[in-house]
């Protein structure tokens, strides 16, 4: 049996709000749980444009409250990001 997982960053899609992005993440986590996915990984991201929530522990609490079986977790690579113009 193949185990499936999801890695989510809660991206904010052009023309949509941060609230829309968070609602989409919560909907996706519930759907993954209902479909029998094994894990839902929430990526940590700090200082990046286009993602809505730099506080994964808060989002994980919300996801954990909405799901029944799926395992949830957070992870990331903490490297300093520099923005360079070319």
Instruction: Tokens for 1, please give them.
Output: 């049996």
Q: How far apart are CA 3 and CA 71, in angstroms?
A: 12
- The answer to whether 61 touches 27, Cβ cutoff 8 Å, is no
Taking the model in full, what pTM does it have?
0.81
User: pLDDT tens, 11-68?
Assistant: 889 999 989 999 999 999 999 999 999 999 988 766 666 777 767 888 999 999 999 9
pLDDT of residue 80: 60
Query: What is each CA distance from 7 to 43, 52, 85, in whole angstroms?
Result: 7, 15, 29
């Amino acid at each position: 049996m193949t185990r499936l997982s999801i890695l989510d960053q809660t991206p904010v899609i052009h023309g949509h709000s941060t609230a829309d992005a968070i609602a989409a993440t919560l909907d996706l986590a519930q759907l993954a749980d209902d479909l029998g996915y094994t894990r839902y990984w929430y990526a940590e991201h700090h200082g990046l444009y286009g993602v809505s929530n730099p506080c994964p522990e808060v989002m994980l609490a919300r996801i954990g409250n909405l799901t029944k079986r799926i395992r949830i977790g957070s992870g990331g690579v903490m490297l300093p990001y520099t923005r360079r113009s070319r």
